[in-house]
Amino acid sequence: MEQLINSDLDGAAVFYDLKGLKCPLPVLKARKRMETLPPGARLQLETTDPLAGLDIPHFCHEDGHTLEETERLTNGHRFLIRKKS
């Protein structure tokens, strides 16, 4: 369900697969993962939870992260988040 695919090297995004998880787990796991990243690091999430389209942007706003990209996929969403500095 969830995987860390690659590390954050040279500004590359860390990929976190959160497909199959239902609200509130995608946000809770994204928040916990963000805590382990250095300021300015990027995290790319993929989710299948239909509420993630609302919940992830809200999480970014509340925690001060920058939502750089949002993409609607056939079965979910993809988000690119930059951790606050």
pLDDT of residue 12: 81
Active site residue 60: no
Q: Give the H/E segment covering residue 15.
A: strand 14-18
Whole-number Cα distances in Å, 46 to 28, 36, 85: 14, 18, 23
pLDDT of residue 64: 98
Task: Tell me: pLDDT of 78 over 90.
Answer: yes
Residue 59's region, left for phi above 0, alpha for psi from -120 to 50, else beta, is alpha
Tell me: the pLDDT tens digits for 1-34?
444 455 444 568 899 999 999 999 999 999 999 9
Q: What gap in Å lies between CA 47 and CA 45, rounded to an integer?
A: 6
pLDDT of residue 2: 42
Q: For residue 71, name the pLDDT band (cuts at 50, 70, 90).
A: very high
Domains of the chain: 14-82 (3.30.110.40)
Catalytic residue among 23, 28, 41, 80: 23
Q: Edge-to-edge, what's the strand order for the sheet holding 76-82?
A: 14-18, 42-47, 76-82, 66-73
